[in-house]
Amino acid sequence: MTRKRPGTGLAAVAVQGGLGQSAVMLGCLARSVRWCHLVGVLVFLACGAARAEEVTVFAAASLKTALDEVATGWEATTGHDLRAAYAGSSGLARQIAQGAPAEVFLSANTAWMDWLEAEGAIDPVSRRALLGNRLVLVGPTGAAPLDLSGLTRDLGEGRLAMALVDAVPAGIYGRAALENLGLWAELQSQVVEADNVRAALALVALGAAQMGIVYGTDAQAEPRVAVRAEFDPRSHPPILYPAALMPDASAAAAAFLTYLSGPEASAVFARHGFTVMP
């Protein structure tokens, strides 16, 4: 007859019980690790989403084609979103002065930026001269080049499209150039004014006006028009595009303004016909 050693059965039970508890504890620990990992991933994603910001930019209408491309590159690089509003510089400047939620402003002339600075509506330290442009006379595709001295004769009874000549930079430059040539008095009654330079360009592209005065970059962006003449830059004030932040602009907005002067954005602007300022 075989005798059991004292305690052998109880020890076996104890060991088995201990192993079972250990297995349960290890299972709980594994689940805890998985949950911690999942929570960590969710927290990481939430933090990444929190870091993404939306930057609001007010920009002269003539910048639209190039700036849209620049914005796409910046969004891809940073993960931020950019919302751009395009119009005549005069209207945008007035909206900013009245409290519109812009963070970056790109004007098509220095006068409206000067006015905003006097109003305390921009951060003067952030202000910089970004781009330059040229002024051209356009007509429908296929139209022959002309001598500006014969503009009155070539226009005949037709219409000349221009941006608002007393408010919008392109219109102000255009009027100054015509006055310099001694043509404004003769042509004034034939001028059709538009809210911004892109609207003036559209009038020519659609055939609603026989000719128009726009920027060289606008003509390059619209395949339905052709440049008929280029105005001497000495006939009008220099065409400059200043850029600046609003006083309460975010860090992301400041980063975008810096990006505008960087090599990627500069290459885009140059390809669209702008002069990149040093």
Task: Give how far the C-alpha of residue 8 lies from the chain's centroid of Cα atoms, to the nearest Å.
Answer: 82
Decide if 45 is inside a domain.
Answer: no
- The yes-or-no verdict on residue 215 having pLDDT over 70 is yes
Angle at 233 between CA 210 and CA 70, to 5 degrees: 80
Q: Give the model's pLDDT for residue 183.
A: 98
Residues 176 and 237 sit within 8 Å (Cβ to Cβ): yes
Domain range for 250: 53-132+239-276
- The yes-or-no verdict on residue 35 having pLDDT over 60 is no
The total domain count for the chain is 2
Averaged pLDDT of the chain? 87
115 shares a domain with 162: no
Decide if 250 is inside a domain.
Answer: yes
Decide if 147 is inside a domain.
Answer: yes
- The yes-or-no verdict on residue 12 having pLDDT over 90 is no
245 shares a domain with 200: no
181 shares a domain with 246: no
241-262 average pLDDT score: 98
Decide if 164 is inside a domain.
Answer: yes
- The yes-or-no verdict on residue 108 having pLDDT over 80 is yes
Kindly report, residue by residue over 119-147, the tens digit of the pLDDT.
Answer: 999 999 999 999 999 999 999 999 999 99
- The yes-or-no verdict on residue 231 having pLDDT over 70 is yes
268-277 average pLDDT score: 98
Residues 58 and 103 sit within 8 Å (Cβ to Cβ): no
Q: Give the model's pLDDT for residue 49.
A: 44
264 shares a domain with 224: no
Decide if 36 is inside a domain.
Answer: no
What is the pTM (predicted TM-score) of this model?
Answer: 0.81
Decide if 92 is inside a domain.
Answer: yes
The pair of structure tokens assigned to 241 is 């595009």
Query: Helix, strand or coil for residue 215?
Result: strand
45-73 average pLDDT score: 85
Residues 197 and 61 sit within 8 Å (Cβ to Cβ): yes
Decide if 17 is inside a domain.
Answer: no
184 shares a domain with 106: no
CATH code (residue 194): 3.40.190.10
Query: Helix, strand or coil for residue 278?
Result: coil
At 173, which helix (H) or strand (E)? helix 169-180
Q: Give the model's pLDDT for residue 52.
A: 84
227 shares a domain with 254: no
Decide if 258 is inside a domain.
Answer: yes
Is the sign of the CA dihedral 83, 85, 89, 94 positive or negative?
negative
Residues 274 and 121 sit within 8 Å (Cβ to Cβ): no
Q: Tell which residue, 268, 266, 254, has the closest CA to residue 78.
A: 254
Q: What percent of the chain has pLDDT over 90?
A: 81
